[in-house]
Amino acid sequence: MKPQAIAIVVIALLAAALGIFIGMQFSKERSLDVEQLSLLNAVMMPEPRVIEAQPLESTTGKTIDLTTDFEGQWVLVNFGYMSCPDICPINLMELRKVQTQWDEAQPYYPLQVVYLTMDPARDDLDTMRSYLTHFDERFIGARADFEATQRLALQLNTVFEAEEKDADGNYIVSHSDSLALINPDGDLEAVLRGPQNAERILKALNLIIPAQTSLYHLSAALLPCH
């Protein structure tokens, strides 16, 4: 048999194997248990919510947009700020556990944590890059101006407000404690309410992500040249 014919046969066999695998995955029941998700502090959107495009400066050195730049990936957005004394660093420690365990257990469902600062006046990119490296080098830090960040946060079911400055010019940012889960199409899929806990987050993600990943995105992950 000629090499070209052999190559065609091999490709056909690989495609058939991929089809069988995907068929097995999607033949399983994928109904979501809303009550179980509620116990995990996870709230699904009735329909994925379209998010307005918003350019963000990022620690990657490039401008990113949550709606377009993570096609094929799930994105977990964590709002925080580097001067936060308690909740924000605790959440990042929990998210490090989530990222590590997810990457090991679910390689066909790529997940990216994005840390979006609520305090762009004090959180510059260089400092944010160094700060996030202490937690996990895989995390991406992002920022926009305060008003734009507030508008984006509201779309992702998060609220925050800078408090009055004290005599020394210091201030805190009051904020809710939620994570936003954005699907591979760039839409809001679910909100994970605090307090955040790695075990609970992972259970919620395992219920949501495999069930809500489209055939197209799964096959793209299994066969990157797709």
Residue 156 has pLDDT above 90, yes or no: yes
Residue 128 has pLDDT above 90, yes or no: yes
CATH topology for 32-212 is: Glutaredoxin (3.40.30)
Residue 176: both structure tokens together: 């809710």
Could you report the per-residue pLDDT of 179-213, keeping only the tens digit for each? 999 999 999 999 999 999 999 999 999 999 999 99
pLDDT band at residue 11 under the 50/70/90 scheme: low
Could you report the per-residue pLDDT of 53-111, keeping only the tens digit for each? 999 999 999 999 999 999 999 999 999 999 998 899 999 999 999 999 999 999 999 99
Helix axes 215-222, 3-27, angle to 10 degrees: 130
Residue 13: both structure tokens together: 């066999």
Q: Where are the alpha helices (DSSP H) in 106-197?
A: 125-133, 146-155
Helix axes 87-105, 198-212, angle to 10 degrees: 50
Rounded Cα gap, residues 58 and 123, in angstroms:
11
Whether 37 and 43 have beta carbons less than 8 Å apart is answered as yes
Sign of CA dihedral 67, 204, 77, 93: negative
Place of tokens 């069988």: 20
Collapsing DSSP to helix, strand or coil, 57 comes out as: strand
Q: What is the pLDDT of residue 220?
A: 57
Phi-psi region of 213 (alpha: psi -120 to 50; beta: other; left: phi over 0): beta
Share of the chain above pLDDT 70, in %: 82
Rounded Cα gap, residues 22 and 158, in angstroms:
35
pLDDT band at residue 219 under the 50/70/90 scheme: low
Nearest of 18, 19, 44 to residue 31 by alpha carbon: 44
Rounded Cα gap, residues 4 and 2, in angstroms:
5
